[in-house]
Amino acid sequence: MDWEKYWSDKSDDRRPDMTPEGVAREGREKLLHLGSGDRLLDVGCGTGKLLSHYAPNFRECVGVERSPSMLAEARMNLRDRNIVLLHGSAEDVWEIVDGDFDVITMGGVAQYLTPNEIAAFVMRATKRLKPAGRIAILDIIHSRKGVLRMMGLGRHKEVPSGLEIVMRFGVVFARWAAWPVIAKGRTFHPDGHMYAPEFFAAIAKENGMKIDMPMSMYYDYRFHAIMEAAR
């Protein structure tokens, strides 16, 4: 996948509620998992809407964003704050940031990363944590709940009819079955990479971390992976 081209003109954080009130509610929810401390690193900070809500809880925040257009908007919106913004990605972040962090977070990014990339990110992140620090990977698309959502289940007040469910299942299956043919070597599926909680539990165990995996309050098909050093 040519990520530089893909992200070159993106300017939408794709929040479930883009109003200031909606973003503030989502920021408060995520701070329940991030806590507070001296330094926070937010990988894939987008336009900085959530990062602006994290900043009061930390002495210094470092935001890293791959999209030049979203980074430019973040720099415009977050001037004169305790926030440093850098151009980079989950793959090269460790070469462009200095020092250790109390919290390393990544929100809405896991769907763009392969399993090997996520495993490598967590392994390197553990080496840049301060004592009692935590890694918070937020808004991961749940492999089972995500498929149900695409079928129209879990997001409607009224349950679809049996025929509608069968038809939607057919569409979902066709998209996944046809993707290897039309992908031409690209690994990123149009619905995004989906993950089972068990995958993150295994990564946490491999890195000597304990893990909590609550469901998101604002996406019925996403969950968070909150990792801390096992004591």
DSSP structural state of residue 153: -
Pair 50, 26: CB distance under 8 Å: yes
**Spans of all domains in the chain:** 3-142+195-229, 145-183
What percent of the chain has a predicted confidence (pLDDT) above 70? 72
Whole-prediction pTM = 0.81
Answer whether CATH 3.40.50.150 is correct for domain 3-142+195-229. yes
pLDDT per position in the chain (231 positions), as tens?
Answer: 555 565 555 666 666 677 889 889 999 999 999 999 999 999 999 999 999 999 999 999 999 999 998 999 999 989 878 999 999 999 999 999 999 999 999 999 998 899 999 999 999 999 999 999 999 999 998 887 766 665 555 554 555 666 666 666 666 666 656 655 555 555 545 557 889 999 999 999 999 999 999 999 988 889 999 999 876
pLDDT tens-place string over residues 95-116:
999 999 999 999 999 988 999 9
Q: What DSSP assignment string belongs to 9-69?
A: T------S--SHHHHHHHHHHHHHHH--EEEEEEET-TTSTTHHHHGGGEEEEEEEES-HH
Phi/psi region, residue 169 (left: phi>0; alpha: psi -120 to 50; beta: rest), is alpha
